[in-house]
Amino acid sequence: MTPRFTAGNLHRHSSPEELGKITRALRATGRKIAFVPTMGALHDGHRELLSRARRIPNTVLVASIFVNPLQFAPGEDFERYPRPIEDDLAVCEAERVELVFTPEREALYPPGAQVTVHPGPLGDELEGASRPGHFAGVLTVVAKLFNIVRPDYALFGEKDYQQLVLIKQMVRDLDMEPHVIGIPTVRERDGLARSSRNVFLDADQRVAAVALSAALTAGAHAGLDGADAVLAAARKVLDGTPALALDYLALRGPDLGPAPDRGEARLLVAAKLGATRLIDNVPVLLGAPALGERG
């Protein structure tokens, strides 16, 4: 049976006005706000974000749970996206979240709402090429949440690396206040990145899903030999897993511009297993370090 949520120090608010008033009042007393926006179905990746946020000194820990319709294209998994709200509240309580914001759809998108945030060219690449409008939906809800919560710090997982890069870009370009912090991906013991969508995988798909992180690891290990070797090593693993329908395998710079010849890069992958779309990425160091760069 699903455990019932019992209120301790966790306060739940669904009204943007109410939540905004509280966070503003807290800021006025000198406390800082550490914010973890989520779509719920909280797993160990979210717990890591919450635990890192909690450890920022002198902060109140605020989380939001909202499955944002604007970031799902028609035909995507908005309807079936998991919504275990009682479990999620229990996780928030265990992670000592003080305020959890659980708005209704109409409160964030009242009738007549028209204006959205345009992500720029990167919003149409990689994830954006397969999910048109996705990043406009993400940036719009994140901008709204930032305006309501007024966080000093906002934490996001590196698992959604393109999302993280675009949120940082939005904060820079639109002169927003929060300090955006990216947190490394939390993985299962076999390497699979933690994701709320992993629950959709059947037993065979769960086995096949490991090929994503295995491919990225193989690619990263080939970094010394350069970009072509990285892509070839990763592709070899993916090609050996016919259950995976590959969407993209891409090597980019850390800001998702073109990959440099040498130095820091990011290797990203997206694939479908049946109806479930999974993404993952890792940092890669390209090329041999020049003499004098070795420790």
Q: Give the active site residues.
A: 46
Answer for which of 35, 53, 60, 68 binds ligand PAF (CB under 6 A) is 68
Angle subtended by helix axes 85-94 and 44-54, to nearest 10 = 40
Min dist. Cβ of residue 54 to ligand PAF (A): 18
Q: Which run of H or of E encompasses 252?
A: strand 245-252
CA distance 171 to 119: 11
Query: Which positions from 142 through 181 interact with ligand PAF, judged by CB under 6 A?
Result: 142, 160, 163
Backbone angles phi, psi at 126, to 5 degrees: 50, -115
Measured from the CB atom, the residue of 163 and 241 that comes closer to ligand PAF is 163
DSSP 64-81: EE---GGGS-TTSSTTTS
Answer for which of 26, 39, 90, 270 binds ligand PAF (CB under 6 A) is 39
Measured from the CB atom, the residue of 95 and 160 that comes closer to ligand PAF is 160
208 sits near ligand PAF (criterion: CB under 6 A): no
Min dist. Cβ of residue 6 to ligand PAF (A): 25
Tokens at 238, concatenated? 């993916």
119 sits near ligand PAF (criterion: CB under 6 A): no
Q: Could you tell me which stretch among 12-20, 34-42, 244-252, 253-261 binds ligand PAF (CB under 6 A)?
A: 34-42
141 sits near ligand PAF (criterion: CB under 6 A): yes
Among residues 111, 158, 160, 155, the alpha carbon closest in space to that of 138 is found at 160
CA dist 9 → 5, 12, 89, 173, 272 (Å):
12, 10, 11, 36, 40
Q: Could you tell me where the DSSP H helices lie in 112-193? A: 127-130, 134-149, 161-173
Q: Could you tell me which stretch among 36-44, 120-128, 230-238, 271-279 binds ligand PAF (CB under 6 A)?
A: 36-44
Answer for which of 37, 128, 178, 182 binds ligand PAF (CB under 6 A) is 37
Min dist. Cβ of residue 103 to ligand PAF (A): 11
Are the C-beta atoms of residues 184 and 158 closer than 8 Å to each other? yes
Measured from the CB atom, the residue of 68 and 213 that comes closer to ligand PAF is 68
CA distance 107 to 76: 23
Residues that bind ligand PAF (CB under 6 A): 37-39, 68, 71, 138, 141-142, 160, 163
